[in-house]
Structure 1
Amino acid sequence: MAPTNSKKQDGLKPFIRLIRSTGIPKAAFGVGIAGFLITTIVGLAIPLLTKQLVDGFSLATLSPMLIAAIVAAFLIQTVIDGISTYLLSYTGQKLVADLRGKMWRKLLRLPVSHFDAETSGGTVSRVINDTGIVKELISNHVPQFISGIISIIGAVVLLLILDWQMTLVMLISIPVTMALMIPLGRRMAKISRGMQDETAAFSGSIQQTISEIRLMKASNAEEDEEKRGTGGIHRLFDFGLREARINAIIGPLMGLIMWVVIAFIIVYGGMRVADGSMSTGTLVAFLLYLFQIVFPVTTFAMFFTQLQKAKGATERIIQILCLEPEPGQNGANVDVSGLPIIVEDVSFSYQPEEPILKNISFRANQGEMIAFAGPSGGGKSTMFALLERFYEPDSGVIRVGDTPIAALSLDNWRSQIGYVPQESAMMSGTIRDNLLYGLEQDKISEEKIRQASDMAFASEFIKSFPSGLDTEIGERGIRLSGGQRQRIAIARAFLRNPKILMMDEATASLDSHSERIVQEALQRLMAGRTTFAIAHRLSTIVDADRIIFIEDGRVTGTGTHQELLDSHPVYREYAGQQLI
C-alpha cells in the first residue's frame, strides 16, 4: 500500500516525469501553445474593436480601417488557430507513439511470469487506451486550459477598465460556478477511472473468448459467454449513465448561470445605457467578454476530469515501464557446440510453498537425446521452461560446459535452441512469414527456404497452394492442418540451425500418416544435435540415449529404455500399458 500512497502524494510529478521521458517535440508544442496564446490575445481585442464600431456607427462615419481591423483580427485568429491545432495534434500523436513504443519494447522483454499473472486484454488496454488518455490531455485539454486562463484574466482586466462596478457584480458568477463544478469534476474523475478499469477487464474477456472461439462453440458455451459479456456491457453502461447524469447537470447548470449573468448584464447595462452612464458599445463589449469568461470556465471541469484520468493512466503506464525485464539481456555470448548441458540440483516453484521441481540433476552430452517421461503434472514442461529460461530456478544451476546459462545473453542462448512444441504456434501472416519468424530475413535465401522445406517434408503441400510460400494461413495457422503446422515448425527449426533441439512430443496430436512424415522429418532435424524430448507416448523415445523419469517433481529413474524396464516398476507399468 505504501507505494500507492506515495504516488498519490506526488500529485502531478509522475505524469510530468513521464511526459519528459518521451521524445515530445518541444518546438511544435511551444509554437502550438504560443499560437493559442496569440489567438486568445487577438480574441480579446475583438470586443474593443466592436465597441468602437458600435459607438461610432453611422453610414457617414463608418471607418473602413476599423472594419478592416476587425476582419483582419478574425482572419489572423482563424489561420493561427488552425496551425496551432495541427501542431498540438502532432505533439499529442508523437507523444503517444513514443509512449506506446516504450511500453511495447518493455512488454516484449518482460519475463513470462508477468504474463502468467496479467490478462492480455488488460495489457492491450494499457498500451492503447491509457496512452490515448494522455494524448487527449496534451493535445486538447492543456491548450484549452492555458488559453482559457489567459482569456479570463485578459477579459476581466479589460472589463475592469471598461466598467469596474458592473464587472465586480458579474464576477460573483465565477466562484459560484467553481463551487458547483469542482465537486462534480471530482465525481466525474472517480467514475472515469472506474470506467477505465472496467474497459480493460471487458477488453480482456472479449479477447479471450474470440481467441478461443472454437473451444467456446465446441463446448456449447455461447450462453455462458453471452451472460459474461452482457454483464461487462451492463457495467460499462452503468458507468456511462453515471457520466451522463453528471454531464446532464453540468451542461444545463452552466447554461443557467450563463443566461442569468447575460440577463443581468442586459438589464443592468440597458439601464446604464438609458441614463447615459454607459455607451451601447461598452454593453456589447461586456457581453462579448462575458462569453470569453464563461466558456473557458465550463471547460475547466472537463480539464480537471481529464487530468485525473491521465493521472490514473500514468500510474498504470509507469507500473509497466518500471517492471524489471528478463535477466540476462546483456550477458556473455558462448557457442554451445560440443559442450554438455548440466543441470545441478535445480528446484523451482510457481507459487511459494508449492514446489514443482525438487532437486533435479542430469547431464546431456553433445549429440545425445535426453527424454523426459512420467505422469502428467510431474514437471516435465516446467523443466523445458527452465531450459528455455522462461523462468529462473529457485535454487540450483543449469550450465553449458562450465558457464551458467544465467550468465549468457538471452539472445545468444535462445538463438542456439530450436523448439518444436506439441501444438506448433503460428503467427497470422503467410507461410514465408512463419518460416522466417525471428530470423534476419534478408540473410535467408530462397534456396535455403526450399532446402529447409524439403528436409521437413513441407515442400509438397506448400507448392499445392496457388500462392505457395505467400499463402495466408489465418490467425494461429487455422487454415493449415496439424501435420502441416508441425512441418512448418520443423522447417523453421532447420532454418535456425540450432545446436540444441527441444521437442514437446511433436507428433502426439497427429494422425498416423502425418505422424510418420513428421517423425521422419524430426529424425533428420535431430541428427548431430543435443536433443531434449518430452514423451507422452513411450514409443517415440525408446531409442533415446537416456530417459529421465519424473514423478511429483523428482527424478525417480534414469537410464535407457531397457534399463528402466529392468529397474523402475512405474516405468515398467507405463511401458506395459503403451507398448503392448
Structure 2
Amino acid sequence: MTEVKEEKGWRQFVRLVQHTKPSKWFMGIALLLSVSTTLVGLMVPLFTKNLINDFTISSLSTGRIILLVSALIIQAVASGISIYLLNHIGQSVVAGIRDRLWKKLLVLPIPFYDENQTGETVSRMTNDTAVVRGLITDHLANFLSGTISIIGSIVVLLLLDWKMALLMFIALPLAAVILMTLGRRMHQVSKGMQTETARFTSVLQQVLSEIRLVKASNAEAIEYKSGKNGITQLFQYGLKEAKIQALITPLIGLVIMVLLVVILGYGGMRVSSGALKAGDLVAFIMYLFQIVMPMGQLAAFFTQFQKATGATERIITIMDMTEEQDDSMMDVNNVNQSIIVENLNYSYKNGDDILKDIWFSAEAGKVTAIVGPSGSGKTTLFSLLERYYQPQQGVIRLGNVPINQFSLFSWRSQIGYVSQESPIVVGTIRDNICYGMDKKVDQAAIERVAKMAFADQFIYELPNGYDTEVGERGIKLSGGQRQRIAIARAFLRDPKILMLDEATSSLDSKSEQVVQQALQNLMKGRTTLVIAHRLSTVIDSDQILFLDKGKITGSGTHEQLIGTHSLYREFAEQQLRINETV
C-alpha cells in the first residue's frame, strides 16, 4: 500500500512540474553540462592512475599539466552554468505553480473559504511551493550527476579489478535498504511538518490581523499559549526529522567506512603481492569516493523528494477542486426586469436548513426590504443572489431567465453590494474607490462619485486627499468613512441591482444620517434589496418581506404588515418605543 502511495506521489509531482512547461532547452543544456562534468570527473582517477604507475620527472610534460588544469577549469565552469540553469528552471517552475495556484484560488467557490482557514491556504502558496523549488534547484542536479557518477565509477572499477569491485556490492544494497526504509518514515514526518506549518501560519495570520481584539480582550497570554503550542509541534517534527537524518548519515557512513577499510586492506595485500599496481589502488579509492559522496547526495535528494511529494499532494488537492460554476457565456442584456425567486431552498453541509421554500418577486426599479430576527437567513439569501452558493432546490430568475445562465462576470457586474462591514483593501482611498475596475478611472469621475456618496467632505480634510493610505482593512478610517467609500465604489460601478446588507446598523446617528442620504441617492432608479434591523430605514420601501427561521412569513408595505403580521408589528412597536425613549 505504501508503494502505491509513493508511486502516486511521484506521478503527481511530475504532472505538477509538467503543467508549468519548463524550458526544455534549459533543462537539456543543464543536464548535458551536468553529465559532462561528471564524465570529466570520472576521467581524473584514470589520469592519476597512469601518472602514479608511470611516474617519472620526464612524464610531467607541460601539455599533460595544461590538459589536466584545463579540464578542471572547464568542469568548474560547466558545473556553475548547470547550477544556474537548474536554479532558473526551479524558479520558473515554482512561479508557474504559484501562478496556477493563485489563479485557481481566485475562482474557487466561497464554500471552499468557509471550510479552509486562510493561513493554511497561504501556506500552500508559499511554504509548499518553496519545498518543490528546493528539490529542483538544490537536489536535482546532484541526483542526476550522482547517479551517473555511481554507475560510471562501478563500470570503471569492474574493468580495473572485478574482484575488488565485487566487495562494493555487499555495501550498496545495504545502503539502499537503509535509504528506502528511513525514506518512507521521512515522508510521513515531512507531510506532518507541512500540515503543522500551515496550521501555525493560520494562527499567526488570524492573531496578527485581529491584534486590536487580542489586546482589548487581554488575550495575549491565551494567544501566546496557542502560538507556543504550534511552535512546540514544529519543534517536535523538526526533532523527528533530525532523528531520521541522525540515523541515515552515520549508518551510511559506517557502511562506507567499513567498505573503505576492507578495500584498503585487501588492496594493500594485492599491491604487496604484485597483483595490483599502486596507481590502480589509488584510482580505486578515488572512484570509491566518487561513489561515497553521491550516496550522501542521493540520500539528501530522497529526503527532499519525500517532502516535495507531500507538498505536491496538498497543492494538487487544491488544483483538482471544483471551480465556481460558470459554464454560460451569456451576458445580461436587459437588467431592468424583476428578480423572481421561486421555491428556493438552501442548507449548509451540516444539514441545517437555512432557507425553506422562498417565493417572492423584487420589481425592477423598486425597493424590496428584508427584515427579521438575526439568523433567519437574510445574508444567505443575498449570497445566493450573488451566486456565492448554489441552492439545493428552486431557481432565481431575472425576468424569465435563470441567473445561472448568465456568465458570473456579466451577472456580478450588474450588482452593487454594500455590507455592514464594507471591505477595504490596503492602499489609498483612490485605490479603494476604483477597486475592481479594469480600466483607468479619471480623477473627475472619482471626485464625482465621492461627492455623490458624501465622501468628499472628509477626503478633502485629509493631508493627502485621495492618496491617503487607509491601512489594513481601512483601520485609519471611521466606520462611516469606510461606508461612504464603499458607496462611492458602488456609484462608480453604476450597478443596476443594488444590495444593501445592514449598511448603516453599526454607525452612530450622525454618520447614519449622512450614509443614509448617500444610499438614497444610490438607490434612485435601481432595483434595490435591503437587509435592515432598523425598520425606520425601510418603512418607505415598496415591499417588505419578513423572514423568520428561513421562511417568508409575511410580505407587503409597512402599513399592510402592521395590520396583518403580529411579529412585524411587535418589531415595529419595540423600535418605535426605543426611538421615543431616545
**What TM-score comes out, normalization by structure 2 length?**
0.95
CA spacing shift, 1:404–1:20, aligned 2, 3 Å:
same
**Paired position in structure 2 for 1:530:** 527
Query: Offset of 1:329 from its aligned partner?
Result: 5.0
Label 1:452 to 1:311 Cα distance change in 2 as closer, same or farther (>3 A): same
2:154 matched to 1:163? no
Percent identity of equivalent pairs: 52
Does structure 1 retain, via aligned residues, the 8 Å contact 2:83–2:141?
no
CA distance in 2 between partners of 1:362 and 1:201 (Å): 43
Residue range with higher mean Cα deviation, 54-63 or 228-237: 54-63
Structure 1 residue 397 corresponds to structure 2 residue 357:
no
> What is the identity, as a one-letter code, of the residue corresponding to 1:377?
G
In structure 2, give the amino acid aligned to 1:517.
V
Supply the distance in 2 between the matched residues of 1:79 and 1:330 (Cα, whole angstroms). 55
| Residue of 195, 220, 235 corresponding to 1:222 | 220
Secondary structure (helix, strand or coil) at the match of 2:72 reads helix
Give the distance between the partners of 1:81 and 1:199, measured in 2 at CA.
Answer: 34
Within the candidate set 316, 335, 338, 1:340 is matched to 338
Distance 1:8 1:543, change over 3 A: farther
Deviation at 1:235, TM superposition (A): 1.0
Aligned residues: 577
C-alpha separation between the residues in 2 aligned to 1:300 and 1:356? 56
User: What is the CA-CA distance between 1:270 and the residue it aligns to?
Assistant: 3.2
CA drift of 1:6 comes to: 7.8
1:425 maps to amino acid: P
Q: Deviations over 1:307-326 (max 9, x none)?
A: 23222222222221111111
Which residue pairs with 1:412 in the alignment?
410
CA contact (8 A) 1:332 1:409 kept: yes
Q: Which moved more, 1:156-165 or 1:37-46?
A: 156-165
Contact 2:9 2:310 in 1 (8 A): no
1:395-434 CA distance string (max 9 Å, x none): 1111111111010110001011111110111111111111
CA distance in 2, matches of 1:424, 1:430: 15
Name 2:44's counterpart in structure 1: 46
Sort the Cα spacing of 1:30 and 1:59 in 2 relative to 1 into closer, same or farther, 3 A: same
Distance in 2 (alpha carbons) for counterparts of 1:352 and 1:163: 71
State the distance in 2 between where 1:325 and 1:13 align. Answer: 23
The Cα of 1:288 is off from its aligned counterpart by: 1.4
Bigger Cα displacement from structure 2, 62-71 vs 89-98: 62-71
Give the C-alpha shift of residue 363 in structure 1.
Answer: 1.0
Using the TM superposition, name which of 7-16 and 533-542 deviates more: 7-16
The residue number in structure 2 matching 1:521 is 518
Q: Following TM superposition, by how much is the alpha carbon of 1:467 offset from its aligned partner in structure 2, in angstroms? A: 2.2
Q: Secondary structure at the match of 2:292?
A: helix
Alignment-mate amino acid for residue 180 of structure 1: I
Report if aligned partners of 2:190, 2:310 keep a CA contact under 8 Å in 1. no
Pair 20,383 (structure 1): closer, same or farther in 2 beyond 3 Å: same
Q: Over aligned residue pairs, what C-alpha RMSD do you find?
A: 1.9
- Deviation for aligned residue 1:531: 0.8
Does residue 569 (structure 1) correspond to residue 566 (structure 2)? The answer is: yes
Q: Verify the 8 A CA contact 2:167 2:259 in the aligned structure 1.
A: no
> CA-to-partner distance for each residue in 1:160-209, whole Å, 9 max, x for gaps?
22222222223422122223332122222221111111111111122122
Q: How does 1:206-217 map to 2 (within 5 A)?
A: 206-217=204-215
Q: Which amino acid aligns with 1:44?
A: L
CA contact (8 A) 1:177 1:257 kept: yes
Which residue matches 2:501?
Answer: 504
Partner SS for 1:543: coil
Question: Displacement, 1:570?
Answer: 0.7
**Equivalent residues of 2:267, 2:276 under 8 A apart:** yes
1:45-98 deviation line (CA, Å, top 9, x unaligned) = 111112222333343331222211221121111111111111111111111111
Task: Using the TM superposition, name which of 356-365 and 164-173 deviates more.
Answer: 164-173
Distance 1:388 1:7, change over 3 A: farther
Match of 2:457 among 456, 460, 463: 460
1:527 deviates by: 1.0
1:474 aligns to what?
471
Counterpart contact for 2:183–2:306, Cα < 8 Å: no
- SS of 2:391 mapped into structure 1: coil
Aligned AA (2:319): L
1:541 aligns with 2:574: no
Q: Is the 8 A contact 1:374 1:550 kept in 2?
A: yes
CA offsets per residue over residues 246-285 of structure 1, 9 Å max, x none?
Answer: 2122223333333333333333333333333333322221
The answer to whether the 8 A contact 1:49-1:66 is kept is: no
Could you tell me which residue of structure 1 aligns to residue 127 of structure 2?
129
Stretch moving more, 22-31 or 53-62: 53-62
* The 10-residue stretch of structure 1 (244-253 or 416-425) with the greater mean CA deviation from structure 2: 244-253
- The match for 2:549 is 552
Q: Report if aligned partners of 2:338, 2:361 keep a CA contact under 8 Å in 1.
A: yes
- For the 8 Å contact 2:186–2:306, the answer to whether it is kept is no
- The 3-state SS of whatever aligns with 1:464 is coil
8 Å contact from structure 1 (residues 186, 305) kept in 2: no
Q: Indicate whether 1:15 and 2:4 are aligned.
A: no
Q: Secondary structure at the match of 1:339?
A: coil
Tell me, in whole angstroms, the C-alpha distance in 2 between the residues paired with 1:528 and 1:368.
Answer: 8
Alignment correspondent of 1:493: 490
Partners of 2:6 and 2:252 in 1: CA distance:
30
Cα distance between partner residues in 1 of 2:427 and 2:195? 32
